Structure 1
Amino acid sequence: MKNKTKQQHWEYNNILYIQTEFCEEGSLDLFLSQVGLKARLDDFRIWKILLELSLGLKHVHDSGFIHLDLKPANVLITFEGVLKIADFGMASRWPAAAGIEGEGDREYIGPEVLMGCYDKPADIFALGLIMFEIAGNVELPDNGVSWQKLRNGDMSDVPSLTWSLETSKILRDASGNPLPDNNCTFEQLCASDSDEQQHFTDSHSVIGQNSINGNDLSPFGSCGKQPFSYVRRGELAEPPDFMVDATNEQALDTIVRWMISPDPADRPIADQIIQTFGVQWAERRRRAGATIYEGNWGPADEVLAEDAEMIDV
């Protein structure tokens, strides 16, 4: 018998109830609050989140609806780490009728929403601020100067949404959870991966021979126990330029700035986001859902090659 996801809907006392698949891992805001307390999320998962939310938003818009309340609390996570846009309580058919209630949380609404303009670009703006929140590892303001600056496309309150020397030194276990680096030892790092095979490469296998412009990039940080960089087997050792250079035209900074353009007409549609180089790169290389750790920069080339061979067989 073919296995199908059970989906039902019904009305009771003029209220529409929708039953969909069970998302065991809770909501994205809970995931981010737990991860963000430890350290910034790794870049590959950040790009996977942008990919999956853009795909979901494209489906919503192509189906003739606008969500109008997109935020991490309204995104659910399946057991496989896949994101599902939920809570359509404020959603409207597109184009929206005049006089609807479409003003969601102030942290995520676009400037045009305050003037009663409810359209697809409002969802794009909300997605842009979600990515700003995740990549910057910040709490969004609900008012004040910082709130106004974001509505003017000004992201200067956060230095960068891209990789930095500080985040590069974060040690992670096989699940992507940051390890404390103040008192760690080489043996403790290995022990964190006791159920997974790992290896260590010499400096020529990592970014710029362990330095950029003379700055040490060793992920051991203050441990200083090993002269070589730690690379877990199956993980990409060298990141693509758009993940480490905030000035790259394909960097997340550029895309988010585009998404939160003050003028709704200047924002991309969901499909344009999906077609950006970084999102396409993440889609081609990912092997798991958005919240599943696959290395700071994603799976290694040899892992993808092995997958291709398995498909051929």
Structure 2
Amino acid sequence: MSASIPSKKSPASPQSESPSGQAALLSPPGAEEQQQLRDQYYNATIVERIDLTEDLAKFRIRPDEPLPPFEPGQYLAIGLGNWEKRLSGTQEEELPIKKARKIVRRAYSISCPLLHADGTLATQDSVDYLEFYITLVRHGENAASKAPALTPRLFGKNAGDRVVMERKVTGKYLLGSYDPDDTMLFLGTGTGEAPHNAMAAKLLATGHRGRIIIATSVRYRRDCAYRNEHEVLMQQYDNYVYLALTTREEENIRTDHPNFVGKQYLQALFTSGRLAELAGDPLAPMNTHVFLCGNPAMIGYVPPGADAPENPGMLPLLRAAGFHDDVQEHHAGTVRFEKYW
């Protein structure tokens, strides 16, 4: 999941008052100046990049200085200079020369590796890097959209390359308060799984006894970047369930497929009772906390005064089932959702 944050004014390189210095600012920075800008502003290193598909990757980034403590579910911004090369095959960008020395930032939920190399549980505070689960955005939503700025540059970077990492970790999408026997249900789409990984790892590490369920809906199984890690954790923890739900595999589309299940959208699975069956839990408001992150259409938040969509998201369906999202105190029956639009 990525979260939009207000743009920040990035410092430009020192400007010379000489005519030659002013003339230099009328053209993009050359190789030497680019390196000077990196040395001046970049403060973190990509220590590992794990590609799942051409457009999906995990980036493990280590800040030069440790960050202050933060909670699972929160996010922070990473960035690169506009002078960095864009990946081929992405939308061309019309960049004003006055922005050539600026830094573009975007906020992403902090994920979690889930497992150490020895197969033991890894929480986000047990490693010295931050993990981000990121989709390459190649083009804007339509022909009139601005070209995506960060990921076409980020996906050209590899282990050892430097980036900007903001120092402030923020966000109110948190575990909150809960009883150790409560059911914790995390529903996400695509990279919206990222904060859920960090939250679930904390629950497991602190000995949560209730059911912990992560259900992620994606197009294809290959889009489940953490499936192997989840399967190992299910073998280690009896109360842990991971559901990789797809919508475009053959068994989702072909009615003659021997394992035909239809398109596995979270909304339909919840209302039909199938999600509870797969989870092995009634998912009742009396003992269940629900967390939603990912596609806004799945979440189903409708601003006051706006028309409800023809196909409702999870929020109205959960309310109809007895859950509440308008409470100040966290307790069973509460729905929390990441609002980043």
TM-score exceeds 0.5 = no
**Greater fraction helix:** 1
What TM-score results when the alignment is normalised by the length of structure 1?
0.23
**Greater fraction strand:** 2
What TM-score results when the alignment is normalised by the length of structure 2?
0.22
